[in-house]
Amino acid sequence: MSELPDPRFMLNRITASEWVINDLRYSPNDPRHVVACVYELAETEVEVTWLRDLPLATRYGTVFEVLEDVERMRGSSRATRPISIPHRPPLLAR
């Protein structure tokens, strides 16, 4: 498997049950550097506090799933082409 040569997001463990996800695009003294705080609730459940406006879940099974979701969000383009809506003439009133 090939690894990304220049990963943008990094998972850093703070304590035995807390992590932060950092955006390496920003310097450590930039407030945008920290993307999320992740807290372990149980062996199979973590809770996320998002520090950016991301439409992602707040609970995951593992901290690695959180990181994968952030990376997937970065990889998917949020902009899409407009969806064409068929135009029809208005209904006639009787």
For the chain, which residues make up each domain, given as ranges? 9-72
* Whether this model's pTM surpasses 0.85: no
List, for residues 7-46, the tens digit of each pLDDT value: 899 999 999 999 999 999 999 999 999 999 999 999 899 9
**CA 68 – CA 85 distance, rounded (Å):** 34
Query: What residues contact residue 60 under an 8 Å CB cut-off, 6+ apart?
Result: 45, 46, 48, 66, 69
Judge whether 55 and 43 are in contact, CB under 8 Å: no
Judge whether 45 and 58 are in contact, CB under 8 Å: no
* Mean pLDDT across the chain: 86
**CA 26 – CA 3 distance, rounded (Å):** 21
